[in-house]
Amino acid sequence: MPPATSTPAETIASRNPATGDTLGSVPVTDPGAVAGIVRGAAAVQPLWWALRSRDRARYMQRAAQAVIDEADDLADLICAEQGRPRSEVELLELLPAVETLQWLAEAGPEILAGERVGLSRALRPLTRARWAYEPLGVVAVLGPATEPFSTPLGDVAVALMAGNAVVLKPSPQAALAGERIARVFARAGLPEGLLRVVHGGEETGRALVDSPVAQVRFTGSYDAGRAVGEACARAVKRSVLELGGKDVALVCADADVDRAIQGTVWAAFANAGQAGGSVERAVVLREVSERFLTGVVDAAKGLRVGDPRDPRTAIGPLLTADRRDRVQTLVQEAVDAGATLHCGGPVPVSSASPADGTFFAPAVLTGVTPDMRIAKEEVPGPVLSVTVVDSEEEAIAVANDCAFGLGASVWTADRYKGARIARELQVGMVWMNDHLVTRSAPQVPWGGVKGSGIGRARGAIALRTCAEPKVLTWTPPTQVAGRPFWWFPYDASLERTGRAIAELRSVRDRDRERALRQGAQPFLRVARRALRRR
């Protein structure tokens, strides 16, 4: 991929959050150059769009193979840049990326095929109609700080598969992972200049959103996403916003408690609680609450915190010191206001330097009340609050008392009760007896309601939102079909014919009989006039 225009003196250094070591650097893109980069991508896009969708699908398949071929290097890089355990990198970053690319290669052409449409033969007896998908042009992808590979790669891939060019802006905390996304598609043989990468902070991101892109696909915080959405709305520009969440695990009295404990602990603390869709709240029926809380606390205490390169490590560092400080502040405020901290908190790890160590052991809280900040705001770390309730109705009310609505899990032995509860939960996704099922399933839409965003990533709907449906119709010329009978001139016969056609569609026999009786003569007069060439 061609290098982005940059100011030579400015760079972004990528650091290992576990050790503070510098891994590399990338040049910061001059915000004033971003619009020109977008126009350069737009110049290449028509050639890409000229390919058939099944030809573009082959590039997706080759990109999947490139991920597989570079898996060792990619795992090493993401493990180091994110401080994420290597097992998670393999299973929750690389494998979902391969799955997404291969699914697009297999299903993308059919999803983008469009379809024929049957028109009313009463009005359009000879007209044929169909609609097809055309690309938007250039799509901007703004990637997240955590989950920096599979998530932005998925957005890039759906945009490319739909025939668009893409400009990717990775998070400053994931600059090297963003570069590797571009390298994967370069290895797949993607036309040069079709995918471009820009680097920088808020100013570069704002310049990209304000540039002549047709759509912005953003993953990140609520505040940043709201600003992106407002900018897109002012410019009447499409946006897909994947924002924050405070996912909830609702544990019913008939749940398999051991499974609920294991699943909730994993969903709350994987990726050090920084995953999109991490469980932050467990709402538990009183009958099983003591067993659940004891099991969760014991399991959390047993998770190994340390060097993410060690295969035994479950919890790596938080991405930045600011995140660690924010998590610590929210937990301490809750404790000062009366909550109970059962385990967890900042921990020293020998592999981390004193200045850069950002390790936070999994924390479990009880006694969190709705007025506490930790109950209202997204917590970017491994913190789980457990709330005990007396009924399923109360559990649903507690779960819905939140400004976010990304995902929820329901733990129950009764599938039909789980489905009933799911209908009442104000979230975009509900998983029964599991959590984050669709994070690695590209076939299924991903996204939320309320403050968790607008639109969906993944699934056929994500692919189609990267394209514009265009309607095409064909009507034979006048020599064959005459002219539409509703064209000028207007008269009483035309008026009565329109009423008769409507009445023939009535469910009442008397209406249809009246249409035949009163509308036959006017219809014949209109038909004779329509069959004339002029």
Global pTM value: 0.91
pLDDT at residue 206 is higher than 60: yes
Task: State residue 454's pLDDT score.
Answer: 94
Tens-place pLDDT, residues 7-65 = 445 999 999 998 889 999 999 999 999 999 999 999 999 999 999 999 999 999 999 99
Determine the Cα–Cα distance for residues 204 and 140; give it in Å rounded to an integer: 12
* DSSP symbols for 263-331: HHHHHHHGGGGTSTT-EEEEEEEHHHHHHHHHHHHHHHHTSPBS-TTSTT--B---S-HHHHHHHHHHH
Please compute the mean of the pLDDT values over residues 136-159 and round it to a whole number. 96
The alpha carbon torsion through 139, 144, 149, 153 (nearest 10 deg) reads -20
Determine the Cα–Cα distance for residues 174 and 146; give it in Å rounded to an integer: 8
Q: Alpha carbon 283 to chain centroid distance?
A: 25
Give the Å distances, CA to CA, from 56 to 48, 49, 157, 255, 493.
8, 9, 10, 46, 54
Please compute the mean of the pLDDT values over residues 84-95 and round it to a whole number. 94
Contact 170, 197 (CB under 8 A): yes
Longest Cα–Cα distance in the chain: 95
pLDDT at residue 297 is higher than 70: yes
Length of the chain: 534
Determine the Cα–Cα distance for residues 445 and 467; give it in Å rounded to an integer: 16
Determine the Cα–Cα distance for residues 209 and 43; give it in Å rounded to an integer: 19
Q: What is the CA radius of gyration of the chain?
A: 28
Please compute the mean of the pLDDT values over residues 129-152 and round it to a whole number. 94
pLDDT at residue 234 is higher than 80: yes
Q: Which ranges in the chain are annotated with CATH 3.40.309.10?
A: 247-439
The alpha carbon torsion through 105, 429, 466, 231 (nearest 10 deg) reads -150
Which of 3.40.309.10, 1.10.1200.10, 3.30.1130.10, 1.10.10.10 would CATH assign to domain 247-439? 3.40.309.10
Dihedrals phi, psi of 19, to nearest 5 degrees: -125, -20
pLDDT at residue 377 is higher than 90: yes
Tens-place pLDDT, residues 323-359 = 999 999 999 999 999 999 999 999 887 554 444 479 9
When pLDDT is cut at 50, 70 and 90, the band that residue 3 belongs to is very low
pLDDT at residue 262 is higher than 80: yes
Q: Which ranges in the chain are annotated with CATH 3.40.605.10?
A: 21-243+461-470
Which of 3.20.20.70, 3.40.605.10, 3.90.1170.50, 3.40.366.10 would CATH assign to domain 21-243+461-470? 3.40.605.10
Task: Give percent of the chain with pLDDT exceeding 70.
Answer: 96
Task: State residue 481's pLDDT score.
Answer: 59
Contact 321, 354 (CB under 8 A): no
When pLDDT is cut at 50, 70 and 90, the band that residue 5 belongs to is very low
